[in-house]
Amino acid sequence: MLEVNSHKHLKKYYQNNLARWPHNLTLTRLISRSLSRKDNTFIQLSSDSRNFWWPGLLIPLCLHNNNIVLILSERQCRLLFEVELPKLRSSRLDFDYVEGIELIPSDEKVWVLKYQDLVFANERDLLKNRQLIFPESEFISSELRESMSIKITPKDWKDLISSHSHLEISIIEFHERLTRSLFSHAVSYDSVIRIDHRELLVLKEIIKDDLPFSKPWERAFNAVNNTWVTWAKLDNRKLSWDWYFQPLTPLQTLSGLFSKNTLLMLTNSGQSDSFFLDLNSKKFTFTVKANLGNKFDQEPIPLFIPKKQPLPNTSYFYRHIVRQCQRLILCRAHLTVILVDDLPLRRQLTSELAGEFGVRVVHETTNIESNGIICCSCNWWIINQYNLPTPDQLIFPVIPFPTLELPWIAAKVEILKHQGRDWFREFLFPETLNILLKSIAIIRGEDVRVAILDGRMHHRSWGKLIFKALEPWVALERLLPY
């Protein structure tokens, strides 16, 4: 009955709202079936689904909300409360929910949690026998990693010394030794330098049985072990630094939760990214798997990837990407987005293009002219793309491989190397595909040109896998007048 009722309500919903994605009727029946039968369900959405899948998910939850937990990112929460719920109410559908962990809901209300709330609720064992729903589940690992991150600032050091005045000299000596070591390795004003996690154990030994109860220190002393990565971000101007901690395998924190609860996961990336590889390594299985939409029914992306392009390690690569960006931007009347994750390269390219195109060029801001040029990281674009007009083109000067300068990336690679595993194919390449596909998802069907200026697309065997992942596309052999 839930499937039938959800189907009827969705058809009624579309009397007042335009159906922008053709697979929501199928999606709503699959989700209704999963809620009724409590199956572990994995649903892969076609890349043109964007945010059009929300009604297919929410309408069954309006009709069946027994022991349901909906886990959302910050952006998804804003979409839910500011966009999707008002549309449901205009169709006289009631989404009965409780948000956050301040009030634990009854079984008859959907419990909406952000990822940080999910971690706390799991620690307090509040999620027993509940069905967990993860939209955009390909980002579970990254969302958990950010939610579990710990940051210790200079103020926290002062608070630690103040609360342990009898150990002031020992704590100060430890801090000064670590500070001297970090700044002796600094190569820039905002250097990021790895710290051995055992340094925290040394500090813990100094404090011994009088461990602090202030939040960052308590979390750090209780949580951090050899499965965490720690680093310092230096501020040479102030001669100070912040201490960061992140889990390398955040999924392990929820492994017990995943095995004891029913899961419903929606994804745009499929089962090739590192999160699903981690799930498979833990022998986790889904009762129901479904793919919605055939990618070859979508409009092809105009793809500009000339065959004779230099490799990034050549001396003339930078001049190549500058010239190509200038050619691509010339005479374009609307927004251009240039996606570069390498910060020094992005700053250099932004400065060079600003010299050519003036105030049209900006760096990671949504306050932009209609014919503007945004230089940004892929992650910034993924988060902010819904606050910007549809661009004329996306330009990737280099393939967006995760940089080994990020401490958690480098540490993850080191672990896989130590285990004798293929760190490139098991981790780095899947992460790259995930970033690339998520970056272009919003422009599917919009006749937006995508340019990749990295010669490795044609000169490396894995380039063929990227071409395949981008399908459907049509090659632009040359740049034509606009």
pLDDT band per the 50, 70, 90 thresholds, residue 482: very low
Burial class (CB in 10 A: 0-12, 13-18, 19+), 187: exposed
Q: Which has more confidence, 178 or 92?
A: 178
Q: Residue 152 and residue 21: Cα distance in Å, rounded?
A: 45
Domain boundaries, the chain: 2-145+250-295, 148-247, 297-475
Structure tokens at 347: 């700053």
Tell me the longest C-alpha to C-alpha distance in the chain.
74
Is the confidence at residue 43, as pLDDT, over 80?
Answer: yes
297-475 matches 2-145+250-295 in CATH topology = yes
Fold exhibited by the domain 297-475: Rossmann fold (3.40.50)
Share of the chain above pLDDT 70, in %: 94
pLDDT in tens, 249-261: 888 777 778 888 8
pLDDT band per the 50, 70, 90 thresholds, residue 270: low
CATH of domain 2-145+250-295: 3.40.50.300
Which range among 33-42, 179-188, 391-400 shows the weakest confidence by mean pLDDT?
179-188
Query: What global pTM score does this model have?
Result: 0.85
Q: What pLDDT is stored for residue 245 in this prediction?
A: 94
Q: What pLDDT is stored for residue 438 in this prediction?
A: 85
pLDDT in tens, 344-371: 899 999 999 999 999 999 999 988 888 8
